[in-house]
Amino acid sequence: MLASNKISNALISVFYKDGLAPIAQALHQQGVNIYSTGGTQEFLEKLGIPVFPVEKLTGYPSILGGRVKTLHPKIFGGILARREEAGDLSEVKEFDIPLFDLVMVDLYPFEETLASTSDESKIIEKIDIGGVSLIRAAAKNFKHSLIVSHVNQYPELLTLLTEGNALSTIEQRKAFAAKAFQVTSHYDTVIFNYFNSEQQLPAYKISFAHGNPLRYGENPHQRGFFFGNLRDFINQLHGKELSYNNLLDVDAAVNLLADFSEPTVAIIKHNNPCGVASRATIYEAWKDALAGDPVSAFGGIIALNRPVDLATAQEMDKIFLEVLIAPSYEEDALKLLQGKKNRIILEQKGTLPVTQTVRSVLNGVLVQDRDLIVLKASDLKPVTSHLATESDIEDLLFADKIVKHTKSNTIVLAKNKQLLGIGCGQTSRVDALRHAIAKAKAFEFDLNGAAMSSDAFFPFPDCVEIARNEGIHAVIQPGGSIKDDASILYCENNGMPMYFSGIRHFKH
């Protein structure tokens, strides 16, 4: 076996023909015999390049409307033959099978078809059979065959042909083989998930065709990667490369803001909101979100659900902000914000399509549906005779949206659609409340008439007692404790409206 192989015979059958012409011309100049079929054969012949039709090699025409073209021993024998095995070479000679040194095959665009239509017949026809088989065969026999399985590999192949004199090393062939198995693995995963969306087999498969190394992971001594295509969701307009932690915080910010319809600003630090406000304008929302915790906002991630105008940009530019994400920016606002070299400015293209969350645990993964419930006033069940005002209800719903996106145990205090204080990630609910109160007082907020939301039930009445003593007026919680009656009774006796939502929002 030679470490370097000279390409003598090539099999070419591709769906995407962009960039194919210079490759075919380079092969022809190197004296390579080209075998092809169907549309690729026609494309090559129009370029004036001689082609051996696959049908003449196999003795069979393309049948079943093109479903069967290359599935034949004379094709697969020429790809899979082990050239160091005398028996294989003897059979190849006996059946007059050409040995293929290069296989250029891509796959029908199943994923693209799936994204563009719901017509099952069109989707099914884009499940490639022969292409997958050819790619796997050539990749398996990388000792002798070079497999090019995607249009993005064409430039590398062209370089090999023009600068490498059509010679490939075993290291190059093995690298192309790895890419080939990546292509077929991703392809099969997408097909499986299409079928399993109805069948719901107890299997979890996920694949991303794109991946990028990050500067590092959560800390500098950890490697980090992002798998996916960020450009499908955001445009980066300015600033340094997004980090692992940036991406976590941007994800938290985008998911939080997805629950708000009126102009809202959220400030995120370490995955938790430290400032949130909804107002008539995005300018007012920024001012009041920042007031919620101007200390934690320093170096934070800022998310806005309205275009950024110049007045808002001027206010935001006064402090150090690491990341901004909004649906758009007015031209003069963007120019101002770009004045800070490293500030990351992102443009959000739409809503997140993701409906599940995935986490690695022990030697496997946990998968669950995202918490997508957003409460309405009609969802709330009053459990006291004291009823909240319309303004109180708005604050309760506002607080509940925030509590849903905050690490448990958590308590959120809000008034006039502004976050006043938050206690998150605490080991007890009463500690979370005390922390929220302390945060509110640190920035001189008046808690009289404020609303309180809890991510889970109150196991004891201590939280509502502490809240009432601080002037907090209305309470929303899921309910479900065996001691619910104790908290309800305290609120009833002390004029506090309490509502049960029936929805717990644990977040770990």
What are the residue ranges of helices labelled H in 200-281?
Answer: 244-257
Residue 193 pLDDT exceeds 70: yes
Strands (E), 54-158: 102-105, 146-148
More confident call, 5 vs 267: 267
What is the band of 299 on the pLDDT scale with cuts at 50, 70, 90? very high
Average pLDDT in the 418-433 region? 95
Of the candidates 17, 72, 126, 140, the residue annotated as catalytic is: 140
432 by Cβ neighbours in 10 Å (0-12 / 13-18 / 19+) ranks as buried
**Average pLDDT of span 74-95:** 89
Structure-token pair, residue 165: 């004199």
Q: Stretch 480-497: mean pLDDT, rounded?
A: 95
Residue 147 β-bridge partners:
103
What the block records as the tokens of 268 is 């995120």
pLDDT in tens, 476-488: 999 999 999 999 9
- Percentage, residues of the chain above pLDDT 70: 99
User: Per the residue annotation, which of 17, 270, 386, 441 is the catalytic one?
Assistant: 270
Average pLDDT, whole number, for the chain? 93
Q: From the CB of residue 430, how many other CB atoms can be counted at a distance below 10 Å? A: 18
Query: Whose structure tokens read 């075993």?
Result: 170
- Give catalytic status of residue 210 as yes or no: no
CA distance 175 to 116: 32
Residue 270 annotated in active site: yes
Backbone angles phi, psi at 38, to 5 degrees: 60, -140
Query: What is the rounded distance in angstroms from the CA atom of residue 113 to the CA atom of residue 107?
Result: 12
Strand partners, 401: none
The enclosing H or E element of 122 equals helix 120-125
State which amino acid sits at residue 84: E
How far is Cα 435 from Cα 266, in angstroms, rounded to an integer?
A: 20
Rg (CA), the chain: 31
**Could you give the count of Cα atoms lying within 13 Å of 244 in the half-sphere of its Cβ?**
13
Q: How confident is the model at residue 143 (pLDDT cuts 50, 70, 90)?
A: very high
Alpha-carbon gap, residue 485 to 491, rounded angstroms: 10
For 406-410, what is the mean pLDDT?
A: 95
- Rounded CA separation 302/393 (Å): 26
What are the backbone dihedrals phi and psi of residue 449, each rounded to the nearest 5 degrees, phi first? Answer: 85, 5
- On whether the CB atoms of residues 408 and 425 are closer than 8 A, the answer is yes
Backbone angles phi, psi at 489, to 5 degrees: -60, -40
Q: According to the model, what pLDDT value does residue 403 have? A: 96
Residues 157, 166: contact at Cβ < 8 Å?
no
What DSSP character marks residue 61? -
Query: pLDDT tens, 159-186?
Result: 999 888 889 899 999 999 999 999 999 9
158, HSE (Cβ side, Cα atoms, 13 Å): 13
Contact call for residues 108 and 127 (beta carbons, < 8 A):
yes
State which amino acid sits at residue 367: V
Predicted pLDDT of residue 42: 93
1 pLDDT band (50/70/90 cuts)?
very low
- How much of the chain exceeds pLDDT 90, in percent? 78
Residue 2 has pLDDT above 60, yes or no: no
